[in-house]
Amino acid sequence: MSHSPAVVTHDQVHNPALQHHFATMEQQQEASTMGMWVFLITEIMFFGGMFTAYMVYRYMYYQAFVAGSEKMDFWWGTINTVVLICSSLTMALAVRSSQIGQRKALVVLLIITMLFGCVFMGIKAIEYTGHWKEHQFPGTNFHFEGPDPQHVEIFFSLYWAMTGFHALHMLIGIIIVGVIAFYSWRGKYGPDYYNPVENVGLYWHFVDMVWIYLYPLLYLISHKHGG
Amino acid sequence: MATSPTPAAERENYLNTEYGIRSWLLTTDHKRIALLYLLLITFFFFIGGFFALLIRLELLTPAGDLVQADTYNKLFTMHGQVMVFFFLIPAIPAVLGNFLIPIMIGAKDLAFPRINLFSWYLLVIGGLLMMYTILTGGADTGWTFYPPFSTAFAKSQVVTAALAIFVAGFSSILTGLNFIVTIHRMRAPGMTWSRLPLFVWANYATSIIQVLGTPVLAITLMLVALDRLFAFGIFDPQRGGDPLLFQHLFWFYSHPAVYIMILPGMGVVSEVVSCFSRKRIFGYKFMALALIAIAVLGFLVWAHHMFVAGISLYAALVFSLLSYLVAVPSAIKVFNWTATMYKGSISYATPMLYAFGFIGLFTMGGLTGLFLAALGVDVHVTDTYFVIAHFHYIMVGGMVMAYIGGLHFWWPKISGRMYPEAWGKLAALIIFVGFNLTFFPQFVLGYLGMPRRYWQYSPEFQVLNVLSTAGATILAVGYVLPMVYFLWSMRYGKVADENPWGAAGLEWMTASPPPTFNFDETPVVTWEAYDYANLKEVPVEP
Ligand SMILES: [Cu+2]
């Protein structure tokens, strides 16, 4: 055969975190960051299905959506929005701490991020309990005084589905931040290897972003137009 | 090359580095995972095929005598769901793509080997859910899950079926993600984008669809499941929900899913046609771009499945036109394969026979797709056997042909042994004849007005149905044959050297079977793809 493969020699010192199938740390880092971005694109498409349904039905049943939105607890939703924005800040600071090798700050910031996540979930649980008691869960349990209860029910179906899948993502986020916090405490990450922290951070910001859209779409419809 | 090949057993390779069930179930080697996929999807191919055979047996006579109407509904549903989600979609990417992509680009493995193994386990879990669905009575919604039947009326295992497909979908997403990152980040020095084999381009285009489309199917099926479990009613017309919205979301994935099934097949055919014509593929850049164009355009045509469902006439016009557009890149592919063969020195080895089969049958499937994209004709043939014949020409005539052809082409690389060539040709012929006898009559049946999804039919359709069932029997024989001789060849086949076809491509420059890390040293690529002009003439075995 006329072309025989030439050879790349590399006898650099290996970082212990370098996996066997990558040539360099840069290659490994670029690959895992890109993998996370591609994953987030799939997540956008996943939530996109529900956002599409929301748009269609909000267009069709606008008044019912306003009526449903008025049953949301404005303050709990707003507090949760603030909580998540704060958690994004602590997450971003955590990534920075790992990059400049501040192990203690990294662990503390990750734990604070988790706590913010837990606060969010707690508030969400309070809201869910309230909606359940108010017969605002779709199905046979559902009851709504006022015009057009069927279409208000669609609003609530979307509310539960969208916030439910978001909460599921939060739960997963809290768990993986916990895992990362554990490894940070063990000193696994530093200026030479902080990619996992960065990727978990990307995921966390994404989940926050979803909420940033859910909040106005679900809680603020009536506020914008004065009910 | 000139030295006689060393038997695989004497040299360390990915098959003999480790033995035992653990070394397989916990492997992160993309080649071993490919074989795990091969086992899994072959199992489901025969499950799905079993349902198909029962369907054809029922349709042997006009009366609904073999099974009851409800059972028949479950048969075609389980046939469709098993074949689409547990065979066709994983077939070429997860088996051949997994095995070949890292080798073709000169990498040691996929970018995320553990995620790769995880994807396989997801398909196993999805498969177990599917088997549970089947064994507890099956679903009867058709593979399409249309509400309100699926949400409000069906009394079958809709939720577990949806869950099975949801889980299998994430297997598909992660495979696509892995391929995209691998192709971007793991190419060997010198392996530029314009030197990538078209098989890699094809899997890249496929991965884009898997990553963008599958999540939409996932959430749509979740909404159906939520409706059945908790009466969410998002698609329930009684509550003001819109069943058409379901169809839009479903086909947003499921039309591009057809390209998940066909694009990798085009990749296989490009490799095979080029090799057995001893010529560089004609119009390489157009071939690569056409793959991407099909993937992108594929996302803009979904509503051609809904022309009679009540969408607006203007929407239908636009979707009809866009559907015609897909024919352009598809035609580029067919013309360029033909042009590659023109004045090539063609040899008729088994993989080439499958490639011929693919080109012809895909062309027929594609052209009849244009009939269906035409608004007027579509009204006439919607939900008839014409549609069944059309998509089986694409999926079985196209995809399955390419898959089996690809297995033959790379079998020496995978197993280190040659399959028996005479048997290979015979099986290819049987499959081609059986396929056409099964599905060509269905074009006629559909045009004459026989609807799909009924377990009985008017007596005047019987002759064509008998032909179709006879064809299916022949086809079944054709599918069993390769399985038998592939297994046989693993022990008794002639030992293959590193490049039995004299083919271009990095996968043919490493041992057969390859070592665990694919190459002893990372290759540096200094030549273009399909550089047959500069390859030393290697006699191809008959
Ligand atoms: Cu389509």
- Going from N- to C-terminal start, the domains of chain A cover 25-219
pLDDT for residue B239: 84
Query: Could you tell me the CA-to-CA distances from B366 to B327, B389, B444 in Å, in that order?
Result: 7, 11, 17
Verify whether the Cβ–Cβ distance B521 to A5 is below 8 Å. yes
Helices B421-448, B462-492: axis angle to 10 degrees equals 160
Residues 76-135 in A contacting B (C-alpha not used; CB under 8 Å): none
- The low-confidence residues of chain A, meaning pLDDT below 50, are 1-2, 4-11, 225-227
Which of helix, strand or coil describes residue A87?
Answer: helix
Report d(CA A161, CA A210) in Å as an integer.
Answer: 13
ipTM above 0.90, yes or no: yes
Shortest Cα distance from A62 to chain B (angstroms)? 13
**CA B537 and chain centroid, separation:** 33
What is the helix (H) or strand (E) element at residue B529, kind and residue range?
none
Verify whether the Cβ–Cβ distance B230 to A50 is below 8 Å. no
Task: Pick the residue from chain B with its C-alpha nearest to A54.
Answer: B234
Note whether B534 and A3 are within 8 A (CB). yes
Query: A59 at the B interface (CB within 8 A)?
Result: no
The full DSSP string for B292-317 is: HHHHHHGGG-GGGG-TTTT--HHHHH
The tokens for A170 are: 């939060």
Around Cβ B117, how many Cβ atoms within 10 Å? Answer: 19
Query: A74 at the B interface (CB within 8 A)?
Result: no
Q: Which residues contact A160 (CB under 8 A, 6 or more apart)?
A: A131, A137, A138, B232
The tokens for B404 are: 């089996």
Q: B128 C-alpha vs ligand 1 centroid, how far in Å?
A: 29
- Tens-place pLDDT, residues B210-231: 999 999 999 999 999 999 999 8
Q: Nearest to residue B500, comparing CAs of B486, B512, B491, B515?
A: B512
Q: B414 C-alpha vs ligand 1 centroid, how far in Å?
A: 34
Q: Nearest CB to A46: which of B218, B226, B526? A: B218
Provide the H-helix boundaries in chain A: 25-60, 62-70, 74-99, 103-133, 149-185, 195-219, 221-224
Report d(CA B151, CA B351) in Å as an integer.
Answer: 45
Query: pTM to 2 decimals?
Result: 0.94
* In the block, residue with structure tokens 């293959």: B496
pLDDT for residue A20: 87
**CA B342 and chain centroid, separation:** 27
Verify whether the Cβ–Cβ distance A150 to B239 is below 8 Å. yes
Note whether B442 and B391 are within 8 A (CB). no
Shortest Cα distance from A221 to chain B (angstroms)? 20
The full DSSP string for B65-133 is: -SS-HHHHHHHHHHHHHHHIIIIIHHIIIIIIIHHHHHHHTT-SS-S-HHHHHHHHHHHHHHHHHHHHH
- Tens-place pLDDT, residues B50-75: 999 999 999 999 999 999 999 999 99
Question: Any bridge partners for residue B451, and if so which?
Answer: B384
**Which amino acid would we find at residue B198?**
L
Q: Nearest CB to B211: which of A42, A56, A151? A: A42
Q: Nearest to residue B452, comparing CAs of B392, B384, B391?
A: B384
Q: Nearest CB to A138: which of B106, B188, B231? A: B231
**Torsion over CA of B268, B270, B273 and B279, rounded to 10 degrees?**
-140
Q: What are phi and psi of B384, to 5 degrees?
A: -110, 180
Q: Which residues contact B99 (CB under 8 A, 6 or more apart)?
A: B30, B31, B34, B35, B410, B413, B414
Note whether A153 and A144 are within 8 A (CB). yes
Which residues does chain B have within 8 Å of residue A1's beta carbon, measured at their own beta carbons? Answer: 1, 499, 509, 535-536
Over the Cα atoms of chain B, what is R_g?
23
Instruction: Calculate the average pLDDT of chain B.
Output: 94
Report d(CA B155, CA B136) in Å as an integer.
Answer: 12
Verify whether the Cβ–Cβ distance A165 to B184 is below 8 Å. no
| Residue A190 DSSP class | B
The tokens for B467 are: 């032909």
Which of helix, strand or coil describes residue A169?
Answer: helix
Architecture of domain B32-527: Up-down Bundle (1.20)
Report d(CA B506, CA B197) in Å as an integer.
Answer: 9
Q: Which residues contact B452 (CB under 8 A, 6 or more apart)?
A: B383, B384, B385, B387, B388, B446
Tens of pLDDT along chain B (542 residues)? 444 455 545 678 999 988 999 999 999 999 999 999 999 999 999 999 999 999 999 999 999 999 999 999 999 999 999 999 999 999 999 999 999 999 999 999 999 999 999 999 999 999 999 999 999 999 999 999 999 999 989 999 999 999 999 999 999 999 999 999 999 999 999 999 999 999 999 999 999 999 999 999 999 999 999 999 998 989 989 888 999 999 999 999 999 999 999 999 999 999 999 999 999 999 999 999 999 999 999 999 999 999 999 899 999 999 999 999 999 999 999 999 999 999 999 999 999 999 999 999 999 999 999 999 999 999 999 999 999 999 999 999 999 999 999 999 999 999 999 999 999 999 999 999 999 999 999 999 999 999 999 999 999 999 999 999 999 999 999 999 999 999 999 999 999 999 999 999 999 999 999 999 999 889 999 989 999 988 765 444 44
Note whether A74 and A219 are within 8 A (CB). yes
Exposed/middle/buried for B537, CB within 10 Å: 0-12, 13-18, 19+? exposed
The full DSSP string for B347-372 is: ---HHHHHHHHHHHHHHHHHHHHHHH
* Cα angle, residue B469 at apex, residues B465 and B471 outer, rounded to 5°: 115
Looking at domain A25-219, does it have CATH number 3.10.580.10?
Answer: no
Q: Nearest CB to A39: which of B177, B182, B525? A: B177
**Torsion over CA of A168, A174, A179 and A181, rounded to 10 degrees?**
170
Shortest Cα distance from B540 to chain A (angstroms)? 14
Q: Nearest CB to B240: which of A32, A42, A151? A: A151
Report d(CA A155, CA A177) in Å as an integer.
Answer: 32
pLDDT for residue B3: 45
